[in-house]
Structure 1
């Protein structure tokens, strides 16, 4: 079902990629993954992505080895490094409330925004890995409390970035600021009231935050119906919230684009057949405990099967798997259901990002033009 919304689905679909700043690639499998978590590789990849139609690069947040990710680079510093190494690519740094103070992050983002010419954004992640908090001596809050803290965290960021004379004022249950005068403010970018704030999750609390305080709502991998259901609910919250701009929607997907459909699906079967079962099962136990911690059982990964979790953000469920034509049709289907951005992962990042730019993206743009003409014709 198409969705008639006010959040700019008439604009071109945007694309982001998962920065492989964490070892092990984007699938928990022993299949060959021609990718690397190091800096030099990621600089080359960021420049390749920038030249092949990508708008954003999202650095993952991991602080400890877990479930096949043995090494990791910190997300904010890595994002800034990639921003400085590129010219147009927008970089999104993932952060955890509870491990960052929002006023400190607001200052960091403002500085990074000036260094990159207005190309920094933040993805506020409420957290699912309890050990990351407790191992650093930080308290672990229950699910809905984590999202309530995230709500305040985002509101504090926005207040600090947009406050006038006299500085920022905020008094909440988790954070308080008084007369905090940030100078310099982030870069003034036309159409952007402040650096973009992304936030994800599938739960009721996450959807409420997406509609009321976030600029972007990220969904884990979903089929058409699952994605549409989240869009409707988030838009319902947004309809009654005081917002500076309409909420926009990003969707996670793992892309396997091949010249032949059979080759793409054989690659998927091999990925799953070679899954690192202990790592996937450990991840499954941890995240499904977190997802089921919600009162209504609608948390992230609550209904994910083993095969889904081989790509740890349910990327296979989006079904961006097949020929360029098939993937373009699928992408347009999500756009018609409200997607503004697709967040993509790949098996072999460098060559598959190039393949996307050469073979897949041109077809998507052609189909977008056809869709625009059809809408224009329908209104005449």
Structure 2
């Protein structure tokens, strides 16, 4: 059985639970991101993910951390942890982004990866005057885009003629520290997303869902045509609520559910009205009420320390290797997870 990897979602929006409570005030600053990531690295986490928006999807008057400048700074501030920066291809030409990624790859000494996100938040594009194609075309664009990026990471002279991009006799130096190149993560609920992941990604990210649904997704994506030599790996998002007993964890889930509804309800029209109706992700979220984003507590990692540890191994058993986690309050619950759950997972995991 594979040993699970644990990562944290950097709170680029300010918080992953209720928006603004005294125990974890709203804070989307780089200083907070740096502090949390150094803490996560110290207690043994292996990865982090920075989502990407250019404005806050709850309200554009709220702060929003900029992903790529923060990723470069976090690469300098840390020593071991993998830094994954989300990228929406509509925001950067692939030749520019490929070079930027190589810069952060060098700063991090090979610890940098990207998360390819074709985008759902129409509002930020419209306000910026950036064209926002229909859902399936965005995935065709992303496919053309990632092929250019990966070609330029190869170090070879690239001549590429695609649907959206044409590259002539271009090569980059220095070549990547990460070998053979920076890792590519990709997520999405739609058929085009799954097909693109099978073809071009190294890791497919799954939004938090019950284990039966996650098993179906892994089976479906694993059966799709793939040109890459290495098999596709899988990660999952989850919001953790771990307590000494199942009863205490359930009570905390109920408390956070109430607070989240109270504090986010006024801003939901901004998200729903700004969402591309063709985005399958939101239809999935509607089926599984949850705390947090990207499925959050729908993954079921809520319970006693032993319960959460056992459920993590259940997901590992069906193929999930990386768990990208959210906590609330972040710093306190991050430490609790590291102290109480990770050791239990190790004790429960069969010795190979």
- TM-score normalised over the length of structure 1: 0.86
Cα distance per residue 1:102-159 (max 9 Å; x no partner): 1111101111111111111111110001111121111111111111111121111111
Matched residues in 2 for 1:326 and 1:285: separation?
Answer: 38
Pick which of 155-164 and 325-334 moved more: 155-164
Change (3 A) 1:28 1:172: farther
Aligned pair count reads 347
Counterpart for residue 103 of structure 2: 111
Change (3 A) 1:222 1:307: closer
Matched residues in 2 for 1:288 and 1:32: separation?
Answer: 34
Change (3 A) 1:170 1:134: same
Matched residues in 2 for 1:317 and 1:365: separation?
Answer: 24
Pick the aligned partner of 2:306 from 307, 311, 325.
325
Change (3 A) 1:310 1:281: farther
Structure 1: state its 5+ residue gaps. Answer: 1-9, 292-298, 374-380
Q: Residues 64-143 of structure 1 correspond to what in structure 2 (within 5 A)?
A: 64-67=55-58, 70-143=62-135
Cα distance per residue 1:298-356 (max 9 Å; x no partner): x2121323873652311111011111110111111111111010110011111111111
Contact map agreement 1:26 1:347 (CA 8 A) in 2: yes
Counterpart for residue 267 of structure 2: 279
Counterpart for residue 256 of structure 1: 241
Cα distance per residue 1:25-73 (max 9 Å; x no partner): 0125555552632222222211110122211111121211332571111
Contact map agreement 1:28 1:279 (CA 8 A) in 2: no
Pick the aligned partner of 2:228 from 226, 243, 248.
243
Counterpart for residue 341 of structure 1: 322
Pick the aligned partner of 2:284 from 286, 299, 303.
303
Tell me whether 1:58 sits opposite 2:49 in the alignment: yes
Deviation beyond 3 Å, 4+ runs, structure 1: 28-33, 284-288
Pick the aligned partner of 1:315 from 267, 282, 296.
296
Q: Residues 133-212 of structure 1 correspond to what in structure 2 (within 5 A)?
A: 133-164=125-156, 167-187=157-177, 189=178, 192-212=179-199
Matched residues in 2 for 1:29 and 1:271: separation?
Answer: 11
Change (3 A) 1:307 1:272: farther
Pick which of 252-261 and 29-38 moved more: 29-38
Cα distance per residue 1:281-314 (max 9 Å; x no partner): 54345447242xxxxxxx2121323873652311
Matched residues in 2 for 1:282 and 1:149: separation?
Answer: 26
CA RMSD after TM alignment: 1.9
Structure 2: state its 5+ residue gaps. Answer: none
Instruction: Give the Å deviation of 1:163.
Output: 4.3
Tell me whether 1:213 sits opposite 2:172 in the alignment: no
Contact map agreement 1:280 1:310 (CA 8 A) in 2: no
Change (3 A) 1:334 1:135: same
Matched residues in 2 for 1:27 and 1:306: separation?
Answer: 19
Change (3 A) 1:30 1:113: closer
Change (3 A) 1:156 1:28: farther
